[in-house]
Amino acid sequence: MYLEKLEIQGFKSFAHKTTLTFPAFAKASAGKPSVAAGIAAIVGPNGSGKSNIADAVRWVLGEQSLKTLRGKKSEDVIFSGSGKKARLGFAEVALYLNNEDLSGGIDYKEIIIKRRLFRDGTSEYLINNSKVRLTDVQLLLAQANFGHRTYSVIGQGMVDAILAASPFERKEFFDEATGVKQYQIKREQALHKIVTTEANLTQISALLREITPRLRQLERQKEKLEKRSQIEAKLRGLQLEHYSFLWRKTEADLKRLAQKRNELAARHNAAKIEVDRLSGRLEILEKEQKNAPAFEALQKKYQEALSRKSEISFEVRGLEKELVALTSQTPERKAANIDAAALAREAKKLSSFLQKVSQAKTADDWQKLQTEARALQTELERLLETKSPEKDGNAKEKISKHLEALKQTLLSASQEASQAEQALSEARRKEQGATSEVFSLQKSYQIKQQELARLSNEKNQVEVELARVETRHEDLSQEISKEASEYLQKEIKATSSPAGEAKDLWPQIARAKHDLEMIGGIDPEISQEYSTTKERHDFLSTQAADLKNALEKTKQVEQELGVIIEREFNSAFTDIEKGFNEFFTLLFGGGKSSLELHKENELEDLSEEMALSLNEEERDKLARSFRIGIEIKATPSGKRVSNINMLSGGERALTSIALICAIIRANPSPFVVLDEVDAALDEANSLRFAAILEKLSRHTQFITITHNRATMEQASILYGVTMGDDGVSKLLSVDLEKAVRTADLHR
Ligand code: ATP
């Protein structure tokens, strides 16, 4: 790899696009010299803009230090204008690297590194025309073995700066010089990655710590929720079975009882109608009995008719006797005709009359006795009357007539008596019939009444039972609406499967309800929250695992890089030390020089107080890390000093050059720009330096800005820089090898 071309436009005094091309260059390899001399010299008067070329190289390689770039602001690198030329809006430098040998493990045959800066502050880096970051440029350069900040462009002040720097600052320089910078960049990136990964891991771990207990809690709640759903489903099943059975049973009971009640009501009604009918009938009969002619009256009437009939018959017989007596009357017969019984009765009456006479006291008693005496006399006369024959004829007729009349009367009396008897037996028959109907009615009535009472009782019982079932039905309906969801209620009531065997499911239902109560209410949103949290937890866990993995790998890489760095550094350092001695004795014509490494443990460097304030991890880290410094010892021949501070300016410059040359040789950069490095050298040392440069140029391309003739003479191409009164640097090139060849031809 070598620098093929440099394009500068708008950068500092190079207002116009200026191109510096360098001859083809190939490193000498074992036994093979380089194909072209690798030295280009840039010459010109003071202030013409030579160092601006070195600045341009620095700048394009990513220099950030304004001081190194000899400016105060970043835009100071843009052409600021002159009396004759206006200032420009941007600066651009492009570095063309030929990499046909594909060195540095870089696959591109040409690498163009470009940097642009606009006045508004926007800047960009491009590698092969693709925009990149500064770190990409730095990595590429480190890979290609550039020491952009140090020795790829060695400025006027920098020569001494190596000596003036502290041992630790010097280490920085050596890091680039030993070629471990690329590993250091990678290591820093790895360390940075470790820090950010650790920070991320800490953050994720904190989140996980925060989220994990919540997830556990949610997990438990979710399990509970699932258990709850299971129990709820079981409970629904049990309730469905239990309530639908009860529901169907009560419905069936209701139907059966209603039917029974209706039946009983119908029977009761019929019985009631019958009872009413019987009672009506009884009432009528009783009324009829009450209204029937009095039996005694009929009997009396019959008795009266009988006694009248017998009286009349008696009289008829008396008259008939009288008539017979009249017809055949003799005194004896006459006497015989006297009614003895009547006479006896009259004698009794007379006896009682006589008794009353003996007892009579008052006139009134006498009066009554007189009346009674007359009646007795009349009766006795009637009994003892004796009739004359004429009188008898008359009497006969009279008696016959009377007898005839009496017989008539007797007939009607007989008729009357038989009528009365008939009426009486009719009445008796009627009464007997009525009584027996009443009895039978009363019996039926009684039976019906009993049946009615029984039906009524039965009906009441059924109604009570019905009311009880209705209440149970109502209670059940309320219980169902309280216990079951609307959907389940419908299902319970709609289930039409046969009721089947009654199972006592209540203990199981109670158990399920108890279990649900024990689980308690759980927000159904838990499920959603659980999956979101689980998702997040899983995501974080995976991330944490990935980060741990990455961290592990990065730590491993970092450690490996540490080992590489140490190994490479030590190896390069030994080479540099060797070269330093060599070049030092060459430049000084003898003398002694050395490089010493100082390792300082960072933990030991800390104050006790500071060390105590660290945690174990930090202490460990510091115990393992070392600060390395590099001490330069130089004793020119014949002198005793070894402290570089005691060297003269020229001696210091020579010592620096020896070190720079040693570095360049030990770890050749693709090209090195030397900006008046040889300024302080006397002629003899200039020649020595030129000889060294020539040697080194077999492996490294040099672009040297110089006023030194000896150096110029080593160059294969010479660029002259001038600046006119427009403040713009201009370039003239002289291909010395070509010129020499042309001169030889003309000779
Ligand atoms: P010497 O031989 O004395 O070291 P030199 O040739 O190296 O000189 P430089 O330092 O490269 O000179 O150039 C300095 C010149 O560049 C100055 O004249 C300065 O005015 C000019 N210059 C620096 N920055 C700018 C800028 N931004 N715009 C225009 N000109 C600039």
For position 552, which CATH number holds?
A: 3.40.50.300
Give the per-residue pLDDT at 13: 96
Residue 424 in contact with residue 302, Cβ under 8 Å?
A: yes
The residue ranking higher by pLDDT, 295 or 257, is 257
Of all protein residues, the one whose alpha carbon is nearest to atom 29 of ligand 1 is 13
**How many Å lie between the centroid of ligand 1 and the Cα of residue 13?**
6
- The answer to which of 18-32, 145-159, 190-204 has the lowest mean pLDDT is 145-159
Domain identity same for 2 and 143: yes
Domain identity same for 650 and 692: no
Site to probe by mutation for ligand 1, drawn from 13, 76, 93, 728 as the one with most ligand atoms within 8 Å of Cβ, is 13
**How many Å lie between the centroid of ligand 1 and the Cα of residue 126?**
26
Last residue of a domain, one of 374, 398, 425: 425
**How many Å lie between the centroid of ligand 1 and the Cα of residue 664?**
28
pLDDT at 708 over 70: yes
* Backbone φ/ψ region at 309: left (φ over 0), alpha (ψ -120 to 50), beta: alpha
Ligand 1 atom nearest residue 53's Cα: 11
**How many Å lie between the centroid of ligand 1 and the Cα of residue 11?**
11
Question: How many domains does the chain divide into?
Answer: 3
Domain identity same for 578 and 674: no
**How many Å lie between the centroid of ligand 1 and the Cα of residue 724?**
12
Mean pLDDT: which of 124-133, 161-170, 690-699 is highest? 124-133
Instruction: Give the tokens for residue 225.
Output: 């929720």
Domain identity same for 600 and 693: no
The residue ranking higher by pLDDT, 642 or 184, is 184
Domain identity same for 618 and 740: no
pLDDT band at 148 (very low <50, low <70, confident <90, very high): very low
CA 50 – CA 334 distance, rounded (Å): 227
Using alpha carbons, select from 727, 719, 728, 746 the residue that is nearest to residue 44.
Answer: 719
**Strand 717-723 to 39-43 pairing:** parallel
Site to probe by mutation for ligand 1, drawn from 50, 119, 728 as the one with most ligand atoms within 8 Å of Cβ, is 50
* Backbone φ/ψ region at 662: left (φ over 0), alpha (ψ -120 to 50), beta: alpha
DSSP letter at 294 equals P
Domain identity same for 328 and 359: yes
Domain identity same for 567 and 678: no
Domain identity same for 22 and 110: yes
pLDDT tens digit sequence for 266-304? 999 998 998 899 889 888 888 887 777 677 788 888 888
Using alpha carbons, select from 264, 277, 250 the residue that is nearest to residue 492.
Answer: 250
Mean pLDDT of 204-212: 90
Domain identity same for 527 and 639: yes
Give the per-residue pLDDT at 400: 83
Q: What angle (nearest 5°) sits at the alpha carbon of residue 281, between those of residues 276 and 286?
A: 125
The residue ranking higher by pLDDT, 736 or 34, is 736
Ligand 1 atom nearest residue 705's Cα: 7
pLDDT tens digit sequence for 309-348? 888 888 888 888 877 877 775 565 556 566 777 788 888 8
Burial 163-197 (b: 16+ CB within 10 A, else e): bebebeebbbbbbbbbbbbbbbbbbebbbebbeeb
Site to probe by mutation for ligand 1, drawn from 52, 55, 725 as the one with most ligand atoms within 8 Å of Cβ, is 52
Give strand ranges (E) for 158-308. none
DSSP letter at 503 equals -
Burial class for 610, CB neighbours closer than 10 Å (0-12, 13-18, 19+): exposed
- The answer to which of 16-25, 493-502, 652-661 has the lowest mean pLDDT is 493-502
Beta bridge partners of 632: 595
Can you tell me whether residue 722 is helix, strand or coil? strand
pLDDT tens digit sequence for 576-627? 899 999 999 988 888 889 898 888 777 777 777 877 788 888 878 777 777 8
pLDDT at 34 over 80: no
CA 268 – CA 248 distance, rounded (Å): 29
Domain identity same for 653 and 732: no
pLDDT at 156 over 80: no
Give the per-residue pLDDT at 31: 56
Of all protein residues, the one whose alpha carbon is nearest to atom 23 of ligand 1 is 12
Mean pLDDT of 672-698: 89
How far is C-alpha 642 from the chain's CA centre?
80
> Residue 55: phi, psi to the nearest 5?
-60, -40
Residue 671 in contact with residue 182, Cβ under 8 Å?
A: no
Domain identity same for 532 and 625: yes
pLDDT band at 416 (very low <50, low <70, confident <90, very high): confident
Type and span of the H or E element at 634: strand 626-635
Last residue of a domain, one of 381, 397, 425: 425
Give the per-residue pLDDT at 740: 62
Domain for residue 186, yes or no? Answer: no
Domain identity same for 656 and 710: no
pLDDT at 684 over 80: yes
Domain for residue 491, yes or no? Answer: no
Of all protein residues, the one whose alpha carbon is nearest to atom 25 of ligand 1 is 12
How far is C-alpha 644 from the chain's CA centre?
77
**How many Å lie between the centroid of ligand 1 and the Cα of residue 14?**
9
Give the per-residue pLDDT at 392: 65
Can you tell me whether residue 579 is helix, strand or coil? helix
Domain for residue 162, yes or no? Answer: no
Instruction: Give the tokens for residue 681.
Output: 């050298």
CA 625 – CA 602 distance, rounded (Å): 6
Using alpha carbons, select from 1, 335, 255, 306 the residue that is nearest to residue 144.
Answer: 1
Mean pLDDT of 207-223: 89
Domain for residue 604, yes or no? Answer: yes
DSSP letter at 166 equals -
Domain of 610 in residue numbering reads as: 168-179+523-668
Using CB distances shorter than 6 Å, the residues near ligand 1 are 12-13, 44, 46-52, 76, 79-80, 727
Of all protein residues, the one whose alpha carbon is nearest to atom 30 of ligand 1 is 13
**DSSP letters along 608-625, please?**
HHHHHHS-HHHHHHHHH-
**How many Å lie between the centroid of ligand 1 and the Cα of residue 709?**
22
pLDDT at 41 over 80: yes
Domain for residue 259, yes or no? Answer: no
Domain for residue 608, yes or no? Answer: yes
Domain for residue 20, yes or no? Answer: yes
Domain for residue 195, yes or no? Answer: no
Average pLDDT, the chain: 85
Can you tell me whether residue 312 is helix, strand or coil? helix
Beta bridge partners of 58: none
Last residue of a domain, one of 425, 456, 476: 425
- Write down the residue that tokens 């009682």 correspond to: 352
